[in-house]
Structure 1
Amino acid sequence: MSEVLTVAMPKGRIFEEAVELLRKAGYRLPEEFDDSRKLIIDVEEENLRFILAKPMDVPTYVEHGVADIGVAGKDVMIEEERDVYEVLDLKISECYLAVAGLPGYEKKDINPKVASKYPNLAAQYFKEQGEQVEMIKLNGSIELAPLIGLADRIVDIVSTGRTLKENGLVEFETIVPITSRLIVNPVSYRMKDEQIDRMVERLSGVVDGVEA
């Protein structure tokens, strides 16, 4: 019998779309799986164990080997720069990173302030644009920063643009498109290569439009 494969999954929208993808790939996940409040869920019939975590923590769990594989947004992968293998673009939870702010904003000459959950990614982007900025890290409600004068601009995930619009903000620039990726711990890839390759193959078939 093969070893249990531990999968780190982010809570929220990505989790829901990833579960649907796994089911399409033929994995038998119980119905109560969707609504469970547990942080660790064992699916013995598939030899799988799921760890449910905050999106930013998934690459950390995979890098340190407490999870063999994980599902993480490309935004988190760029920001965290963890030592993991990115093996498959799952093409779910599509969105993009953008620069936004209040209408009529004009760039300042001296260190404008930018708020974001992604300070490293944002700082690198502005550096590439030849602009030096002061980064302010926030963990939520990024849209609030320009409204209360904390920051001149923000860098945040945009899906429909509705949240920006409802808060009176506008997009200035698109930084990078984002989808969720399947990531793997390097040691696990050597030790459990057959199981992991099998999952990648099954998921690839679904992503390419051929259901199991």
Structure 2
Amino acid sequence: MLSSGSKHEELEKELATVLKNTLEGIEKLTYFLDAVEKLAASSLYVFTGGEEVVKLSLGICLERVEDSISAARLVCPLLLQFKRDAGVFFQPSLHNVAVFVVELDKYIHTTEKICMTMEISSTTGSGHNRFKQPSVHFAKNVNEDVMQGILSHVETLSIIRMDQNFRLVYLFQEKSTSGFVNQFSGGSSVMQTGGTEPG
């Protein structure tokens, strides 16, 4: 018969195995979330009203790209749910199992919302084209200077979009900062006096 201590150790080992698998799943999910985040930070203006200048291959029209960017922007506040170090948070401790269950349930429901919204506005068709990289073509009547200007603009926007700090700030754009400012202002006197209310 197992003692209370050895039973506890056995349960923690089992929890560690489950959390290891969970973290592997979260890591795989991160690739998708990063892609949605980058899409949300893409410039819609590159694709807006440019049908006569830019065309995409594989039968993808600019309007569908615009729809995907708009959908990513719609769900981008949900991405904040995942902005934590999962490896630090999901440490195997039996005391935190209830918290893990609640947080993983939130992860699942949030991911479902993101996937549903992105699926509704999917830019790709069916068949083998889904996994191919579309190429960009300029209209025949576009001169060299205009093309170079567009390419330079897109390159600059791509650099900005790859900046993780910029993307994080972008995720907060829908969130009002007034709540934080009010809380900080209310607590600043307490912080300055070392944690005691002035009286």
Give the shorter-chain TM-score range.
under 0.3
Give the TM-score normalised by structure 2. 0.21
- Give the number of the structure whose residues are more often helix, by fraction: 2
Between structures 1 and 2, the one with greater strand share: 1
TM-score by length of 1: 0.20
Structure having the higher Rg: 2
